[in-house]
Structure 1
């Protein structure tokens, strides 16, 4: 990824690798911080981040156990992921942030924003996981996740996961594509994914019981309109949950990515960029 690399130190001493884009000279826009999906690294944001960098400072980073960040020996519960993000924001020292999260990154930025609301100018959630969708708690879904993880482990150990991933990331710029393939295809990367996956149902249940209070922070939610392998019923249920979530914000906005399934940041990066820029002064 382009920009200036750095390391933020968490409250318990772990290093989080990030890349900071300075944005245009003389600009006063909030810093846009990108939160990846479950088990994913900073480089998947390349198409969106490079477009947004024309208007604002940007930061992409790797969560613990992923990419170039340090390992974390503690359980990777959602609250711990959000605490790490808060530590990153404090380290960066900007006055205001727009937080952008995709998939599992959506709940992460919601919790972080509720912890430091005075720092957050707005949120953009891209096809996020949402506790309002009951299907997330289905035993069938949990079983499918375990099967998928087992397959990824086998492919990674055999050195074949990199090849399997290539069609998914072909839209990325060459440097970012190379980073994703190198950093997300190893056995260690799969175990980083497993650490986050282990408490998904528990974490979503906790969110359902006690959702983060976002007050009047503007919230935009982008939903994929196509099934993308998840089935029409699942897609309808998830998008309905997204619409309800957006409706809870006094400045909520729900947008359909009509040409996309779940990987909106790769299939419609211009739409994601536009929605981020709507929140910039």
Structure 2
């Protein structure tokens, strides 16, 4: 029987006993392990295009945060530090490393915090159009209002079974099995409920990062910025976000800032090649 394009499934246990579902594609013997962290409400499936390429020269692991994909929901609140602790528990399960962590959107601060907790096992970070606390725009009331409207709208569409239709442009690009998984798991009421839980502490989470910055100055780092506007991100916002990304790259002694010029926010779908190339720079150095 032919296996799944995203590899073999497994379960990692968190420090408080929850289970995290992950899928692993085995790379060449002795290669580093690349672990992918998604954005809000994003399960493992949307990394498929990147993961398949990376697995040619590294171990490539995708996983579902609690309440997404095949990982049971977390009964406790979901602040950023808890998400990062879960990622750390997954890394413990996978072995000693070295690891390259790749985080998209809200996954960006998740991987930064997880890396800072044990930088000795981290070979590098790739942040893909990440949320960054240095972008003042993220604290604006208009952003919170847009989040609330988006949450209400997504919840309604999920209850009606229509949410997936708005993302056909994205799921149609995936391998058939990853597409089927994402259609079945990614647009449910449960996934949107998890999104609400993670959104619940965004502002205090970002302020905490401003007040207590994580030290990753010696960790090789690439920040990839979207080059095109997206839903909810106009030209003014795009410029502010890109400036914050450039700042983040400068905080590393080995920092690099690149732009996915033809891509909006969903870079893992619309320009997977640029992510693959930046991971390769860190792994095949």
- Which residue matches 2:26? 22
Alpha-carbon shift at residue 197 of structure 1 (Å): 1.0
Q: Tell me, yes or no, if structure 1 residue 173 matches structure 2 residue 175.
A: yes
- Which residue matches 2:208? 206
Deviations 1:176-218 (CA, angstroms, capped at 9, x unpaired): 1111111111111110111111111111111111111113000
Q: Tell me, yes or no, if structure 1 residue 10 matches structure 2 residue 3.
A: no
Q: Tell me, yes or no, if structure 1 residue 253 matches structure 2 residue 256.
A: yes
User: For structure 1, which runs of at least 5 residues remain unmatched after alignment?
Assistant: none
Tell me the distance in 2 between the aligned counterparts of 1:94 and 1:259.
37
SS across alignment from 2:35: strand
Among 231, 235, 240, the residue aligned to 1:232: 235
Among 151, 155, 158, the residue aligned to 2:157: 155
Retained in 2: the 8 A contact 1:30–1:94? no
Retained in 1: the 8 A contact 2:6–2:178? no
Q: TM-score, normalised by structure 1?
A: 0.97
Tell me the distance in 2 between the aligned counterparts of 1:270 and 1:235.
21
Tell me the distance in 2 between the aligned counterparts of 1:70 and 1:186.
13
Tell me the distance in 2 between the aligned counterparts of 1:178 and 1:89.
27
- Which residue matches 1:123? 125
User: For structure 2, which runs of at least 5 residues remain unmatched after alignment?
Assistant: none
Among 135, 142, 145, the residue aligned to 1:140: 142
- Which residue matches 2:98? 96
Alpha-carbon shift at residue 276 of structure 1 (Å): 0.3
Retained in 1: the 8 A contact 2:227–2:263? yes
Q: Please list every run of at least 4 consecutive aligned residues from structure 1 whose deviation after the TM superposition is greater than 2 angstroms.
A: none
Tell me the distance in 2 between the aligned counterparts of 1:144 and 1:98.
33
Retained in 1: the 8 A contact 2:124–2:282? yes
Pick which of 142-151 and 178-187 moved more. 178-187
Among 30, 33, 37, the residue aligned to 1:31: 33
Query: What do you get for the CA RMSD once the two structures are aligned?
Result: 1.0
Q: Tell me, yes or no, if structure 1 residue 84 matches structure 2 residue 100.
A: no
Aligned length: 279
Q: TM-score, normalised by structure 2?
A: 0.96
